[in-house]
Structure 1
Amino acid sequence: MPASVNVPINSRGKLASSLPAEQLAEIAELFEYRREGFSLDAPFYTEPAIFKIDMQAIFGQHWLFAASVAELPEPGDYVTVDYGPYSLIILRNDDGGVNVMHNVCRHRGARVLTQPAGSTGNMVCGYHAWTYSPNGDLIHASAPGETKFDKSCFGLKRAHGREYAGLIFVCIADEAPTDFDETAKVFEPYLVPHDLPKTKVAYQQNIIEEANWKLVMENNRECYHCDGHPELACSLFPTWGLTEGLIPQHLEAVWDRSKEAQAALEERCRRYGIPYEVFEELDTRVAGIRISRESLDGDGESFSADGHRLSKKLLGDLPDFRLGRCSMHLQPNSWFHFLGDHVITFAVFPINEHQTLVRTTWLVADDAVEGDDYDLDKLTYTWKQTNLQDKEFVELCQNGANSPAYEPGPYMKSEYQVEAFINWYVQRVQEHLA
Structure 2
Amino acid sequence: MLNSFSSAISPLLDQRMPGHALPAGLYTREDVFKADLDVFFRRHWIYVGLECDVPEPGDAHVIDLGSSSIILLRDDDNQIRVLHNVCRHRGARLLDSGTSIVSKLVCPYHQWTYELSGELAYAPHMGTGFDKTCKSLKPVHFRSIGGLIYVCLSDNPPEDIGTLETVMRERLAPYDIANSKVAFQSEIIEKGNWKLTIENNRECYHCSSNHPELCVSFIDLDFGFDPASLSPEDREEAERHQALYEARTKAWEAEGFPSAAVEQLVDCATNFRTQRLIIAGAGESQTPDATAASSKLLGSMTRKDLGDVHLWGHNCWHHFMGDHAVCTMIIPLSADETLVRTKWLVHKDAVEGRDYDLDKLTSVWIATNEQDAQLVARSYSGVLDPAYEPGPYSPFTEGQLDNFATWYIDRMRANGY
Instruction: Tell me the TM-score range normalised by the shorter chain.
Output: over 0.9
> What amino acid does structure 2 have at the position aligned with 1:82?
D
Aligned runs of 1:132-147 on 2, under 5 Å? Answer: 132-143=114-125
> What amino acid does structure 1 have at the position aligned with 2:85?
N
Q: Would you say 1:293 and 2:276 are equivalent positions?
A: yes
Which whole-Å CA distance do the structure 1 matches of 2:9 and 2:406 have between them? Answer: 16
C-alpha displacement of 1:381: 0.2
Instruction: Tell me: CA distance 1:29–1:127, structure 2 relative to 1, closer, same or farther (3 Å).
Output: same
Q: 1:160 aligns with which of 135, 141, 144?
A: 141
Q: 2:156 aligns with which of 172, 175, 181?
A: 175
Which whole-Å CA distance do the structure 1 matches of 2:79 and 2:128 have between them? Answer: 35
Q: Summarize deviations over 1:286-343 as a string: whole Å, max 9, x none.
A: 212211111111110001232111110122222310111011112x211110101001
Q: Which residue of 1 aligns with 2:302?
A: 319
Which whole-Å CA distance do the structure 2 matches of 1:153 and 1:133 have between them? Answer: 14
Which whole-Å CA distance do the structure 2 matches of 1:375 and 1:38 have between them? Answer: 43
**What secondary structure sits across from 1:328 in the alignment?**
strand
- Aligned residues: CA RMSD: 2.3
Q: Percent identity?
A: 40
Which whole-Å CA distance do the structure 1 matches of 2:42 and 2:111 have between them? Answer: 29
Q: Would you say 1:389 and 2:371 are equivalent positions?
A: yes
Q: Would you say 1:218 and 2:190 are equivalent positions?
A: no
Q: 1:36 aligns with which of 18, 23, 39?
A: 18
Instruction: Tell me: CA distance 1:304–1:43, structure 2 relative to 1, closer, same or farther (3 Å).
Output: same
Which whole-Å CA distance do the structure 2 matches of 1:243 and 1:95 have between them? Answer: 52
> What amino acid does structure 2 have at the position aligned with 1:323?
L
Aligned runs of 1:71-150 on 2, under 5 Å? Answer: 71-143=53-125, 148-150=129-131
Aligned length in residues: 414
CA contact (8 A) 1:258 1:295 kept: no
Which whole-Å CA distance do the structure 2 matches of 1:141 and 1:431 have between them? Answer: 42
C-alpha displacement of 1:19: 4.9
Where do 5+ consecutive residues of structure 2 fail to align? none
Which whole-Å CA distance do the structure 2 matches of 1:402 and 1:47 have between them? Answer: 10
> What amino acid does structure 2 have at the position aligned with 1:310?
A
Q: Summarize deviations over 1:395-429 as a string: whole Å, max 9, x none.
A: 11111122212121111111111111111111111
> What amino acid does structure 2 have at the position aligned with 1:341?
D
Q: Which residue of 2 aligns with 1:3?
A: none
Q: Would you say 1:274 and 2:257 are equivalent positions?
A: yes
| TM-score, scaled to structure 1 | 0.89
**What secondary structure sits across from 1:27 in the alignment?**
helix
CA contact (8 A) 2:217 2:283 kept: yes
Deviates more, 1:75-84 or 1:257-266: 257-266
Which whole-Å CA distance do the structure 1 matches of 2:74 and 2:310 have between them? Answer: 27
Q: Which residue of 1 aligns with 2:416?
A: 433
Which whole-Å CA distance do the structure 2 matches of 1:242 and 1:185 have between them? Answer: 29
Q: 1:47 aligns with which of 8, 29, 47?
A: 29
**What secondary structure sits across from 1:158 in the alignment?**
coil
Instruction: Tell me: CA distance 1:116–1:247, structure 2 relative to 1, closer, same or farther (3 Å).
Output: farther
Q: Summarize deviations over 1:167-186 as a string: whole Å, max 9, x none.
A: 11111101111111222112
CA contact (8 A) 1:342 1:365 kept: yes
C-alpha displacement of 1:98: 2.1
Q: Which residue of 2 aligns with 1:205?
A: 186
CA contact (8 A) 2:15 2:23 kept: no
**What secondary structure sits across from 2:88 in the alignment?**
coil
Q: Would you say 1:418 and 2:401 are equivalent positions?
A: yes
Q: Summarize deviations over 1:270-297 as a string: whole Å, max 9, x none.
A: 4522111111221132212211111111
Instruction: Tell me: CA distance 1:312–1:257, structure 2 relative to 1, closer, same or farther (3 Å).
Output: farther
Q: Summarize deviations over 1:231-271 as a string: whole Å, max 9, x none.
A: 0001111332415717667x949857855764664365145
Q: 1:309 aligns with which of 292, 304, 320?
A: 292
